[in-house]
Amino acid sequence: MSNVIEIKEIKRDFQLGQETVKVLKGIDLTIEKGEYVAFMGPSGSGKSTLMNLLGCLDTPTSGTYILNNHDVSKLTDDELAEIRNKEIGFVFQTFNLLPRTTALDNVALPMIYAGKSKQDRDERAKEVLKNVGLGDRMDHKPNQLSGGQRQRVAVGRALVNKPSIILADEPTGNLDSKTSVEIMKLFDEIHAAGNTVILVTHEEDIAEHAHRIIRLRDGIIESDERHK
């Protein structure tokens, strides 16, 4: 299998007044195409910072990050935005949907940035919504949907540009346990369809869905275990 992610000696510092806070302290990591990985760690371990770097929402203080053979550690903000839109699908704890916009238009949104025609956008968004089990909810706005349905819309939006990686940050954090099980089943299906899935979670039962669990503590990788 080829590597979709390769990071070497990644460090990320933040300035707080006169003080430099070292959040990531030299991380080496490779993730192969088609892997299912969970990042775990206590609050302050660096997992969210690492997720932001992997998602091209932030750049490292030092080190290299190769994403699908692109060295993203050296890209401009515009180039990062383009890579984010093409290569990465994001799913957030808070859904981040546009409140006055239908499920269909929420899902189609990344395709606008990708410059696709309205016909292509609508066709693909309908296909994706059917795949995530919302074929009968396309015209509903977020306030007409349950929490689980909203997260399915968010998953659909993440999938719409056929990205190489799905990044999910605490995707079940705002859901009850029954709905969490349904959403994780959806992630299992997405992975089975060939996507690389990376989740950040602090819940062991959610992490168990992944085939590899990477635990961070104090800005370094404490353990990296494969199972299944």
Say if CB 29 and CB 53 are below 8 A apart: no
Kindly state the average pLDDT of the residues 10-23: 94
- What is 35-57+77-226's CATH number? 3.40.50.300
The reported pTM is 0.90
What's the CA angle centered on 20, arms 18 and 26, to 5 degrees? 170
Question: Residue 202 carries which side chain, given as an amino acid letter?
Answer: H
CA–chain centroid gap for 203, Å, is 17
Kindly state the average pLDDT of the residues 148-174: 91
Kindly state the average pLDDT of the residues 191-209: 92
Q: What is the pLDDT of residue 1?
A: 66
| pLDDT band, residue 137 (cuts 50/70/90) | very high
CA–chain centroid gap for 33, Å, is 15
Alpha-carbon distance 32 to 10, whole Å?
Answer: 18
Provide DSSP, 101-120.
S-HHHHHHHHHHHTT--HHH
Q: Where are the domains of the chain?
A: 35-57+77-226
Q: What is the pLDDT of residue 187?
A: 92
